[in-house]
A and B are shown apart, each in its own frame.
Chain A
Amino acid sequence: MSAPLGTLPRWVNFGLLPLLNVLVAFAISGLVVLFIGESPVEAVQYMLSGALGSGEGIAFTLYYATNFIFTGLAVAVAFHGGLFNIGGEGQVYLGGLGVAMAALALDRYMPWYVTAVVATAAAFAFGALWALIPAWLQAKRGSHIVITTIMFNFIAAALMVYLLVNVIKQPGNMSPQTRLFEPGGQLPKLGWLMQWFGLDIGAAPFNVAFLIALVAAFVVWVLIWRTRFGYEIRTMGTNPTAAVYAGIPYVKTVVLTMIISGGLAGMMALNPVMGDMGKLQVEFPAGAGFVGIAVALMGRSHPVGIIIAAILFGVLYQGGAELSFWVPNITREMIILIQGLVILFAGALEHMFRPPLIALFAAKPKSRPASAGGAA
């Protein structure tokens, strides 16, 4: 927003404002629930108990959150560089190809932790490759990265269907999928971690990919805020003209930023492909690439915020499934609506509540804000 009218305290800017945006999104979702004749309070109760009420529920929530941490980080890294990577879905697809190739090649000869390392590298490389072309086209030929990454989502989907149907399909099986990976190609469940807290994992596919996601979040934090290259990315994102003037190479920074972004998205494939299904199928990304946009916006592109937002979306996904089971009038697609509203309020309308908050908090800079409760 142009012409800042005043500066907000950090906790308002990074805490209260995003919270307010998300609360409005949820309030509107609640109105929709009310509109179709159901009780929002009851809906929230079903959601929370389904997502957090049992060990299995929590494990499912964290399984979904793992996907969203990866894609959220992917979108966030690009955001920092001033790039909008809307191609997460396609990059996840290609990442899945890398994971499947590593698992199919190694699962009979290697223990899972060796396969996992190779699969992670392959997922990163394939996702990065899929982001490289749009990045290069943006940097060198000036084609808009939003359009090209959208196009690459569709190209990736077509490519994967082609490969699964014609090239890597398991012989004798009608559905387009690879053979089941042996244990050497599957990520172990995190039942032991759940047991630390006295919880039972049940049938949930919560697996080692969650820990890899946490490591990735830490690495992204180090990269963006503790390295010279991270500084260059952020400078590029804030003001590309100034960045070039300061001697930051434009093409190299754009391409590397997108490689990291695409690679992170590609790594998401570890979770469903190696951690859950144990095979490569069509449509396994299931929209997680797009959820990453909401997660990154809500988490303000900070790894800690992203982990929190990813878990919240995990609650929505797992709780939403439970909710639609108990209340048939509410469908699973309610989650998509909530995502849309979060993207709208936390992203497109992020400045809407700023002026009133500035009026509230910047007017009396030194005094303790006693009216905090009233604002939320």
Chain B
Amino acid sequence: MESLFADLIQILAATVRLSVPLVFTALAGLYAERSGIVDIGLEGKMLFSAFSAASVATVTGSPWLGLFAAILTGVLLSLLHGFASITQRGNQIISGVAINFIASGLTIQLGNAWFGQGGRTPQLPNSARFTEITLPFASEIASVPFLGPLYARLISGQNILVYLAFLAVPLTWWVLYRTRFGLRLRAVGENPGAVDTAGISVSWLRYRALICCGILAGFAGTYLSVAQSAGFIREMSAGKGYIALAALVFAKWKPLNVLLTCLLFGFLDAASIRLQGIILPGIGEVPVQLIQALPYILTVILLAGFIGKAIPPRASGVPYVKER
């Protein structure tokens, strides 16, 4: 019983760790898509940000400067996406695909040229990383049954970006539903014409939404390379940007749902690692690949409308043409 509980805490801790990049990235996508810009370049933004964070942290020894560089990278890539899809009214999907390619190629190329390790960045020392923070009294109450381990090993002992991710969710909710900017942002994703008629610039609103998107993508990338691991590895985003996109659809473009969905997808990820080779009674060995593919399968089923309906913001993916 005791070991089962310890196991559970371990899985939950892994769930939190694996959810964090998804939470940041899905929230990033939320700002973009709520404003009517589809962003499948999230994967590339996360990857490139991870690279920038690790590179700058390597050179300066400061994780905070790494985070700053990552945010800058995320924002710049977002502005590129904005230039293509807002100003030039290009195809948003194609622009996103291009960003993913550019990130994938340029990170390895630059990494190899700068650090000579085939695209990796050097191993970061702990001083250049965001490391675990022990919350007050963690060791004192660790021995209290049930709550003690839960506090000591799940809530305490995470790095600062984990706490920021969980704060970003209510913050995003507040921005989107309780501020004028948020109201307009949601409106522009549903009916840009109406926003335009009210004398508010559709382009500028969408650019700002994309800047928010870039900032959050920067956090996601920093988490990957400077908090979770100690350096950048080629292709280290490994499809998380697409999972985040799936999570966003699954969450029906709502901030609090985003958190729950990302936790669910993180849990599936954690479980698929734990379940490797374990034979469940009555079912037999569950193929790890099935659990890994489950977020994608669930998203397709949801998209098909078999478990509720996911209706995207109405104007998403459509460039806005001002009446002439």
Which residues does A use to contact B, with CB under 8 Å?
Answer: 1-3, 32, 36-37, 84, 86, 133-134, 137, 141-144, 146-148, 150-152, 154-155, 158-159, 161-162, 166, 290, 293-294, 297, 329-331, 333-341, 343-344, 347-352
- A147-B245, A154-B296, A155-B296 known; A335 and B97 CB under 8 Å? no
Minimal Cβ-Cβ distance residue in A for B292: A158
Write out the residue numbers on chain A whose beta carbons fall within 8 Å of the beta carbon of B293.
154-155, 158-159
Report the separation of the CA atoms of residues A146 and B97 in the bound assembly, to the nearest whole angstrom: 11
**Is B308 part of the contact surface with A, judged by Cβ < 8 Å?**
no
B101 & A349 in contact (Cβ 8 Å cutoff): no
The residues in B between 83 and 137 inclusive whose CB is less than 8 angstroms from any CB of A are: 83-85, 88-95, 97-106, 108-110, 112-113, 118-119
Distance to closest chain A CB from B219 (angstroms) = 23
Distance to closest chain B CB from A32 (angstroms) = 7
Binds A, one of B62-70, B258-266, B299-307: B299-307
Distance to closest chain A CB from B279 (angstroms) = 14
- A159-B289, A290-B101, A343-B94 known; A32 and B109 CB under 8 Å? yes
Report the separation of the CA atoms of residues A166 and B246 in the bound assembly, to the nearest whole angstrom: 28
B105 & A333 in contact (Cβ 8 Å cutoff): yes
Report the separation of the CA atoms of residues A146 and B91 in the bound assembly, to the nearest whole angstrom: 12
Contact with A along B16-44 (1 / 0, CB 8 A): 00000000000000000000001010000
Tally of contact residues, B, Cβ under 8 A: 53
**Is B290 part of the contact surface with A, judged by Cβ < 8 Å?**
yes
Report the separation of the CA atoms of residues A331 and B115 in the bound assembly, to the nearest whole angstrom: 13
Distance to closest chain A CB from B239 (angstroms) = 6
User: Which single member of B102, B242, B297 contacts A340 (CB below 8 Å)?
Assistant: B102
Contact with A along B229-242 (1 / 0, CB 8 A): 00000100001001
**Is B194 part of the contact surface with A, judged by Cβ < 8 Å?**
no
**Is B12 part of the contact surface with A, judged by Cβ < 8 Å?**
no
**Is B324 part of the contact surface with A, judged by Cβ < 8 Å?**
yes
Minimal Cβ-Cβ distance residue in A for B324: A3
Distance to closest chain A CB from B285 (angstroms) = 9
Write out the residue numbers on chain B whose beta carbons fall within 8 Å of the beta carbon of A162.
287, 289-290
Report the separation of the CA atoms of residues A329 and B40 in the bound assembly, to the nearest whole angstrom: 30
Write out the residue numbers on chain A whose beta carbons fall within 8 Å of the beta carbon of B102.
337, 340-341, 344
**Is B278 part of the contact surface with A, judged by Cβ < 8 Å?**
no
User: Interface majority SS on B: helix, strand, loop or mixed?
Assistant: helix
Write out the residue numbers on chain A whose beta carbons fall within 8 Å of the beta carbon of B299.
147, 151
Report the separation of the CA atoms of residues A1 and B287 in the bound assembly, to the nearest whole angstrom: 48
Report the separation of the CA atoms of residues A344 and B108 in the bound assembly, to the nearest whole angstrom: 19
Write out the residue numbers on chain B whose beta carbons fall within 8 Å of the beta carbon of A294.
101
Which residues does B use to contact A, with CB under 8 Å?
Answer: 38, 40, 80, 83-85, 88-95, 97-106, 108-110, 112-113, 118-119, 234, 239, 242, 245-246, 249, 287, 289-290, 292-293, 296-297, 299-300, 303-305, 310, 312, 321, 324
A151 & B289 in contact (Cβ 8 Å cutoff): no
Distance to closest chain A CB from B81 (angstroms) = 8
Report the separation of the CA atoms of residues A334 and B101 in the bound assembly, to the nearest whole angstrom: 10
Report the separation of the CA atoms of residues A84 and B96 in the bound assembly, to the nearest whole angstrom: 13
Write out the residue numbers on chain B whose beta carbons fall within 8 Å of the beta carbon of A290.
97, 101
Report the separation of the CA atoms of residues A141 and B91 in the bound assembly, to the nearest whole angstrom: 23
Write out the residue numbers on chain B whose beta carbons fall within 8 Å of the beta carbon of A1.
89
Write out the residue numbers on chain A whose beta carbons fall within 8 Å of the beta carbon of B94.
84, 293, 297, 343, 347-348
A348 & B95 in contact (Cβ 8 Å cutoff): yes
Write out the residue numbers on chain B whose beta carbons fall within 8 Å of the beta carbon of A133.
300
Distance to closest chain B CB from A85 (angstroms) = 11
Q: Which of B40, B100, B101, B304 has the most CB of A within 10 A?
A: B101
| Known pairs A147-B303, A337-B102, A340-B98 / 15 extra A-B pairs, C-beta < 8 Å | A134-B300, A137-B304, A141-B303, A144-B312, A150-B40, A150-B242, A151-B297, A158-B289, A329-B113, A333-B234, A341-B102, A344-B99, A347-B97, A348-B95, A350-B90
Minimal Cβ-Cβ distance residue in A for B287: A162
Q: Which of B85, B100, B249, B293 has the most CB of A within 10 A?
A: B293
Report the separation of the CA atoms of residues A336 and B44 in the bound assembly, to the nearest whole angstrom: 12
Report the separation of the CA atoms of residues A359 and B136 in the bound assembly, to the nearest whole angstrom: 68
Distance to closest chain B CB from A323 (angstroms) = 12
A-B contact pairs, 17 of them (CB 8 A): A3-B324, A36-B109, A147-B245, A147-B299, A152-B300, A158-B290, A158-B292, A159-B289, A159-B293, A162-B287, A162-B289, A162-B290, A290-B101, A340-B102, A343-B98, A347-B97, A349-B90
User: Which single member of A134, A154, A161 contacts B239 (CB below 8 Å)?
Assistant: A154
